[in-house]
A and B are shown apart, each in its own frame.
Chain A
């Protein structure tokens, strides 16, 4: 038996996630004198966007673009902030009582904090088309991760989908001289019209948008075959992806490829906010669940704030500002600053956030993923990858009474696997909305629990010895 005492630390503020939102919250909170701990599963700060920005495996990281390099200023401020940064730790439980349990080098450690900021970011939206579960199919985001953290690239891949991240990774590949077989763009025609309706005058088009257009030009100029308005997608292959079939411009196409990268935007990663029992709502503009928050980022639990993409997709700049605003709110709750100071220091941030909203609405309209790519209609399409449940399996479960996500999960095991429903939750909400002929908001989402990720039984067992147990388990009547 280990005699090592449990490290038990308490902080004013615990921040989960060291991306732009979490780092800026930490910088703000530390500057006012709060004790802050930042927990992140990566070895370095930066989050998804600034992943490895200070530790790039690439000789010329600036090929990744100015938006990436810009992260260095924030990571530097964060490094100097005085916040305690726990790297490479996996948070597996966040309690509504301020308790955080995390795995650190195979051991569970317990922290408590008066205030919590959840800044664990977004994940890629599932792309449930026929064959998306086959080996050889990956997300464009994982291509980025490989590139940013390991300097790895894959030749002759086909990139399929819509959204800025998709074009960015393709452009980065091109700059690095990696051959790209084709880009199959699934942005539907009507999106251009709907985006135009948002009424963003060209004169007011932000720099970022022009940059996006620049990426597309860059891709076409490089001579990469580019198909627009693709639909009826199907990844080919039995055991392994062998290609992709789709129709575009009134024609059927088939491209041979052993590597297919899919991407259709990002959505908040709900596993912490849901397991914490925060209230959520369905956002029709972004087609995802979001925690209910006030303007400061405060959730339905008074001491918990959610910021950045974890709160709804806001982008790196929005995340940066939200992190700061939420930190100011919590500093006031903790008594480090007063209400006037809080309001004064947040004013500029609120103004910036407001001016970003139009642009966000434009982006959301332009890259809104098609219904057919979110709500699979073919019986054979896999919805839950962990338990290999297809649309047909779910239909059968629905017929047996699985009308809501939890019932369907109990009925079919859809969502019971190690990803904790991350990869099927939104699909299930939307499918059930369609089958029940009810708005998705009425359907809800899975009831989630800790652990947020797989936890070694041995680590958990050791925790029983480390933890000061208040009640000794006595043998119970058997179940």
Chain B
């Protein structure tokens, strides 16, 4: 067993949330260390669809997502790196009258709350922005600020910026035990021991396991959303595309390749770090892409993959202080939309650690929101 490694803050998990938290803390002069069981960006944060999406966010996330979006637009300068971020707008397509009705209701709700970033499109407007869209598509909704980034590069960018400010990253270290000793946390892996005053759980699809070690039980599930990417195609779509009620999401990158997602899930074995694809479900995504964009008929699939992600029953993350322990915080189970939140999550966690509070309302995201009421 090697020498005890001490820091002010210890972060478990080297995904975008852990790396962003490390960056924000190091920036404030806090001594911070990250332990990662595999390698930084190995999981969801390095293999996701790269969607930087504000459109359609649950109301509990809108404030966070708005602030994060503002950060994305200047992130390359801030981190002195290339995250691959491109503002391309995001359009959700309405395929029928029912979808239009859904959009109208959403608009009322958003306007009442004072949010005006989602703008409805009629059919000609949709066609103007997406000339190759299928004729049956009747309209849609757009968020102008949205776009995409390259997940691996963005996560690495946070990691490198954090390292430049003095943060330490320990890769290949799986946290096996967490104990509260006096006023500090003692965390052990197979070969190392870490001690810190504050502890942050950014363990992604393993977040529930780490959470339990800290004393908080959560009904998290995990799964393996699937993606596929085509070979290069002639340029046909600038905005990122989603659909109001069909499992479809895709984006065409500058090199012409088209990334197709849509939320279909494969099989996950998180203990073995393995996922398996469900080819029937991913085939459905292929069909949807062609239905909405007939030009995709000519596409060839080059690669398919999936990553491990944690989900809460309400599809909202756990973000905030531990319910049971002092000086312990959570940021996990981002339910397949945590990449966009990376910048703001780091800031929130740094605020909580250094000041004990945050300007955001984290009540709907608290770790014990599913705890049974005492009878």
Query: Do A and B come from the same complex?
Result: yes
For A464, list chain B residues within 8 Å (CB): 280-281, 283-284, 286-287
- Decide yes or no whether A351 CB sits under 8 A from chain B: no
User: Is there an interface contact between B281 and A455, defined as CB atoms closer than 8 Å?
Assistant: no
Instruction: Say whether chain B's binding surface is mostly helix, strand, loop, or mixed.
Output: mixed
- Decide yes or no whether A263 CB sits under 8 A from chain B: no
- Decide yes or no whether B129 CB sits under 8 A from chain A: no
- Decide yes or no whether B136 CB sits under 8 A from chain A: no
B312 to chain A, nearest CB (A): 11
- Decide yes or no whether B303 CB sits under 8 A from chain A: yes
User: Is there an interface contact between B301 and A476, defined as CB atoms closer than 8 Å?
Assistant: no
Q: In the complex, A270 Cα to B1 Cα: how many Å?
A: 39
Q: In the complex, A478 Cα to B286 Cα: how many Å?
A: 16
B316 to chain A, nearest CB (A): 9
User: Is there an interface contact between A420 and B303, defined as CB atoms closer than 8 Å?
Assistant: yes
Q: In the complex, A404 Cα to B38 Cα: how many Å?
A: 12
- Decide yes or no whether B230 CB sits under 8 A from chain A: yes
Binds B, one of A252-260, A359-367, A465-473: A465-473
Binds A, one of B70-78, B212-220, B245-253: B245-253
A448 to chain B, nearest CB (A): 9
Binds B, one of A124-132, A319-327, A409-417: A409-417
Binds A, one of B43-51, B173-181, B346-354: B43-51
Q: In the complex, A449 Cα to B305 Cα: how many Å?
A: 7
For A465, list chain B residues within 8 Å (CB): 287
User: Is there an interface contact between A467 and B280, defined as CB atoms closer than 8 Å?
Assistant: yes
User: Is there an interface contact between B279 and A277, defined as CB atoms closer than 8 Å?
Assistant: no
Contact of A479 among B53, B92, B278 (CB under 8 A): B53
For B276, list chain A residues within 8 Å (CB): 95-96
For A93, list chain B residues within 8 Å (CB): 279
- Decide yes or no whether A450 CB sits under 8 A from chain B: yes
- Decide yes or no whether A335 CB sits under 8 A from chain B: no
- Decide yes or no whether B109 CB sits under 8 A from chain A: no
User: Quick one: CB contact mask for A439-479 with B, threshold 8 Å, 1 for yes?
Assistant: 00000000001110011111011111101111101111111
User: Is there an interface contact between A451 and B304, defined as CB atoms closer than 8 Å?
Assistant: yes
For A101, list chain B residues within 8 Å (CB): 279
Contact of B231 among A418, A463, A470 (CB under 8 A): A418
For A457, list chain B residues within 8 Å (CB): 230, 286, 289-290, 296-297, 299-301
- Decide yes or no whether B332 CB sits under 8 A from chain A: no
- Decide yes or no whether B343 CB sits under 8 A from chain A: no
Count the B residues whose beta carbon is within 8 Å of the partner chain — how many? 62
- Decide yes or no whether B344 CB sits under 8 A from chain A: no
User: Is there an interface contact between A456 and B300, defined as CB atoms closer than 8 Å?
Assistant: yes
Return the chain A residue nearest B311 by Cβ: A477
User: Is there an interface contact between B305 and A467, defined as CB atoms closer than 8 Å?
Assistant: no
Return the chain B residue nearest A458 by Cβ: B297
- Decide yes or no whether A400 CB sits under 8 A from chain B: yes
Q: In the complex, A417 Cα to B290 Cα: how many Å?
A: 22
User: Is there an interface contact between B160 and A479, defined as CB atoms closer than 8 Å?
Assistant: no
User: Quick one: CB contact mask for B259-296 with A, threshold 8 Å, 1 for yes?
Assistant: 00111110000000010111111111111011000001
A244 to chain B, nearest CB (A): 31
A280 to chain B, nearest CB (A): 16
- Decide yes or no whether B336 CB sits under 8 A from chain A: yes
For A177, list chain B residues within 8 Å (CB): none
User: Is there an interface contact between B247 and A475, defined as CB atoms closer than 8 Å?
Assistant: yes
For A473, list chain B residues within 8 Å (CB): 247, 262-264, 281, 284-285
Instruction: Say whether chain A's binding surface is mostly helix, strand, loop, or mixed.
Output: loop
For A463, list chain B residues within 8 Å (CB): 279-280, 283, 286
User: Is there an interface contact between A418 and B302, defined as CB atoms closer than 8 Å?
Assistant: yes
User: Is there an interface contact between A454 and B300, defined as CB atoms closer than 8 Å?
Assistant: yes
User: Quick one: CB contact mask for B135-159 with A, threshold 8 Å, 1 for yes?
Assistant: 0000000000000000011001001
- Decide yes or no whether A407 CB sits under 8 A from chain B: yes
Q: In the complex, A356 Cα to B264 Cα: how many Å?
A: 50
User: Is there an interface contact between A469 and B231, defined as CB atoms closer than 8 Å?
Assistant: no
User: Is there an interface contact between B264 and A476, defined as CB atoms closer than 8 Å?
Assistant: yes
Q: Which of B157-213 contact A (CB under 8 A)?
A: 159-160
For A474, list chain B residues within 8 Å (CB): 247
User: Is there an interface contact between A404 and B39, defined as CB atoms closer than 8 Å?
Assistant: yes
- Decide yes or no whether B242 CB sits under 8 A from chain A: yes
- Decide yes or no whether A401 CB sits under 8 A from chain B: yes
For B15, list chain A residues within 8 Å (CB): none
Q: In the complex, A277 Cα to B276 Cα: how many Å?
A: 11
User: Quick one: CB contact mask for A357-391 with B, threshold 8 Å, 1 for yes?
Assistant: 00000000000000000000000000000000000
Return the chain A residue nearest B287 by Cβ: A461
- Decide yes or no whether B20 CB sits under 8 A from chain A: no
Q: In the complex, A404 Cα to B301 Cα: how many Å?
A: 25
Q: Which of B61-110 contact A (CB under 8 A)?
A: 92
- Decide yes or no whether B24 CB sits under 8 A from chain A: no
For B302, list chain A residues within 8 Å (CB): 416-418, 454
Q: In the complex, A456 Cα to B298 Cα: how many Å?
A: 7
Q: Which of A92-143 contact B (CB under 8 A)?
A: 93, 95-96, 101
Q: In the complex, A460 Cα to B265 Cα: how many Å?
A: 16
User: Is there an interface contact between A451 and B245, defined as CB atoms closer than 8 Å?
Assistant: no
Q: In the complex, A348 Cα to B250 Cα: how many Å?
A: 57
B284 to chain A, nearest CB (A): 4
- Decide yes or no whether B335 CB sits under 8 A from chain A: yes
- The answer to whether residues A469 and B280 also contact, given A457-B296, A477-B336, A479-B49 and a CB cut-off of 8 A, is yes
Q: In the complex, A377 Cα to B262 Cα: how many Å?
A: 43
Return the chain B residue nearest A406 by Cβ: B42
Q: List 30 A-B contacts (CB under 8 A).
A: A95-B276, A277-B274, A401-B40, A401-B156, A410-B47, A416-B302, A416-B303, A418-B302, A450-B277, A451-B301, A454-B231, A454-B300, A456-B300, A457-B286, A457-B297, A457-B300, A461-B287, A463-B286, A464-B283, A468-B280, A469-B281, A473-B247, A473-B264, A475-B243, A476-B247, A477-B337, A478-B53, A478-B56, A479-B225, A479-B263
Q: Give 6 closest A-B pairs by Cβ, nearest first.
A: A476-B263, A464-B283, A461-B287, A410-B152, A461-B286, A460-B286
Given contacts A454-B300, A476-B247, A478-B337, 20 further A-B contacts (CB under 8 A): A96-B276, A400-B156, A401-B160, A404-B39, A416-B303, A418-B300, A450-B279, A450-B304, A454-B301, A457-B290, A464-B283, A465-B287, A467-B280, A468-B280, A470-B280, A471-B281, A475-B247, A476-B265, A479-B49, A479-B249
**A interface residues with partner B (beta carbon < 8 Å):** 93, 95-96, 101, 277, 400-401, 404, 406-407, 410-411, 416-418, 420, 449-451, 454-458, 460-465, 467-471, 473-479
